[in-house]
Amino acid sequence: MNGRIDWPAHVVLVLGAVLFLLPIWLVVTGSTLDPDAIARGELSLVPRLGGLGVYASVMTEGSPGAGPVWRMLMVSAGMALTIAFGKIIISVLSAYAVTFFRFPFRMTAFWIIFITLMLPVEVRIIPTYSVMSDLGLINTFPGLTVPLIASATATLLFRQTFLAVPDELMEAARMDGAGPWRFLKDILVPVSAANIAALFVILFVYGWNQYLWPLLVATDPKLDTIVIGIVKMIGTETKTEWNRVMATAVLALLPPIAVVMLMQRWFVKGLTEGDK
């Protein structure tokens, strides 16, 4: 095997890479082209530098069907960050309580939280909507984020990690005088840093990529996430300015891709290690 190039593997992998890069590249290129040219079908694989102005334009003015892109980006970012941080904090606290302590109905609490795994939002959309309505949370930012913070996957992951923390580490901390809060803050959280980083990536992407929930809960265009915005743009059968749509798509893809790429190593570790 040494010295000889493994052609089949290379070919397969290059094809794979292209399979995912091509659509993105076309969209990047397309965003810089003239909209009428696109509508006529004249696409090219080479971006036109003169067309880069579309990004500034789309940020401030948006497109038919959706508002200014910068606002949608803010909403998406706010949503993704709130969900990521919110879920991490809640899950760390719950997992800590359930693994490091004993209290009445502890296991009941755990099973209740566990059940949420089996109830993705798509399955409870109508009633959750009515609950939101009753609570007056329709068309509010908390309405967008809070229901998505409660689910159990992060809690289970942390529970797994916390169960595996060596007994001696905890005993040493106890003898050093650390009580429950100090132990959590000074030792448990830092030691779980890799898990937290991986979860951040997963949850940020999850929050950013939400479609059904924001669709339901927010009718005010000021609360459109960028994903919702783009689908709206495509949906308008009036003269769609495709270059603007493509530019918005590129902007919509950049943050989650950046987060995944930057934190790629922790992310993969966190995803796969929790299972093994």
Partner 1 sequence: MERRTIFPGWLLPVALVLPQLALTVVFFLWPAGQAIWSSATRTDPFGIHTRFVGVENFADLFIDPLYIDTIWRSVLFCVCVAALAMGSAMVFAVAADREIRFRGLYRILLIWPYAIAPAMAAVLWILLLHPQIGLIGRWLNRIGVAWDYKLNGFQAMLVVILASAWKEVSYNFIFLLAGLQSIPRSVIEAARMDGARGFFRFRTVVLPLLMPTVFFLLVVNLVYAAFDTFGTIWAMTSGGPGKATETLVVKVYRDGMVNQDIGSSSAQSVVLMLGVIVLTALQFRFLGRRSGGA
Partner 2 sequence: MASLVLKDLSKSFGNVAVLHGIDLTMQSGEMLVIVGASGCGKSTLLRLVAGLEAPTSGRILLDERDMAPLDPAERDIAMVFQNYALYPHMTVFDNMAYGLRIRGLARGDIKARVESAADMLGLLPLLGRKPRQLSGGQRQRVAMGRAIVRQPKLFLFDEPLSNLDAKLRVQMRAEIRRLQRRMGVTSLYVTHDQVEAMTLGDRLLVLHQGRGVQLATPMEVFDRPANTYVAGFIGAPSMNMLPATLSHGGTAAVTSLGAVIPFADGRRPGEDGRRLILGIRPEHVALDPAGVVLQIDLVEPLGSETVVIGRLPDGDLFSVKLPGASPSAETIGVSIPPDALHVFDAETGLRLPGGSAP
The site for partner 2 (CB under 8 A) is made up of 166, 168-169, 171-179, 182, 186-187, 190-191, 193
Q: Give which of 6, 54, 49, 45 is closest to 24, Cα–Cα.
A: 45
The minimum distance between CB 252 and partner 2, in angstroms, equals 36
Q: Are 27 and 244 spatial neighbours (Cβ–Cβ below 8 Å)?
A: no
The minimum distance between CB 75 and partner 1, in angstroms, equals 14
Closer Cβ to partner 2, 104 or 179, answer by number? 179
1 binds partner 1 (CB under 8 A): yes
Q: Are 224 and 214 spatial neighbours (Cβ–Cβ below 8 Å)?
A: yes
79 binds, among partner 2, partner 1, none (CB under 5 to 8 A by kind): none
Q: Which of residues 27-66 bind partner 1 (CB under 8 A)?
A: 27, 30, 38-39, 41, 43
CA-to-CA distance for 215 and 192, rounded, in angstroms? 35
Looking at 54-62, 64-72, 151-159, 189-197, which segment touches partner 1 (CB under 8 A)?
151-159
133 binds partner 1 (CB under 8 A): no
77 binds partner 1 (CB under 8 A): no
Q: Are 148 and 162 spatial neighbours (Cβ–Cβ below 8 Å)?
A: no
As a dihedral over the C-alpha atoms of residue 137, residue 143, residue 147, residue 148, rounded to 10 degrees, the angle is 170
Among 3, 46, 49, 104, binds partner 1 (CB under 8 A): 104
122 binds, among partner 1, partner 2, none (CB under 5 to 8 A by kind): partner 1
Closer Cβ to partner 2, 183 or 208, answer by number? 183
101 binds partner 1 (CB under 8 A): yes
The minimum distance between CB 224 and partner 1, in angstroms, equals 12
Q: What string of H, E and C letters represents the secondary structure of 223-264?
A: HCCHHHHHHHHHHCCCCCCHHHHHHHHHHHHHHHHHHHHHCH
For residue 25, give both structure tokens: 């590249």
Q: Which of residues 154-173 bind partner 1 (CB under 8 A)?
A: 154-157, 160, 162-163, 165, 167, 170-171
The minimum distance between CB 68 and partner 1, in angstroms, equals 19
106 binds partner 1 (CB under 8 A): yes
CA-to-CA distance for 247 and 144, rounded, in angstroms? 25
250 binds, among partner 2, partner 1, none (CB under 5 to 8 A by kind): none
Q: Are 202 and 267 spatial neighbours (Cβ–Cβ below 8 Å)?
A: yes
Closer Cβ to partner 1, 177 or 179, answer by number? 179
Q: Which of residues 181-200 bind partner 1 (CB under 8 A)?
A: 181, 183
CA-to-CA distance for 137 and 144, rounded, in angstroms? 8
For residue 100, give both structure tokens: 């490091």
Q: Give which of 141, 147, 267 is closest to 204, Cα–Cα.
A: 267
CA angle 47, 53, 54 (to 5 degrees): 80
The minimum distance between CB 234 and partner 2, in angstroms, equals 47
The minimum distance between CB 85 and partner 2, in angstroms, equals 21
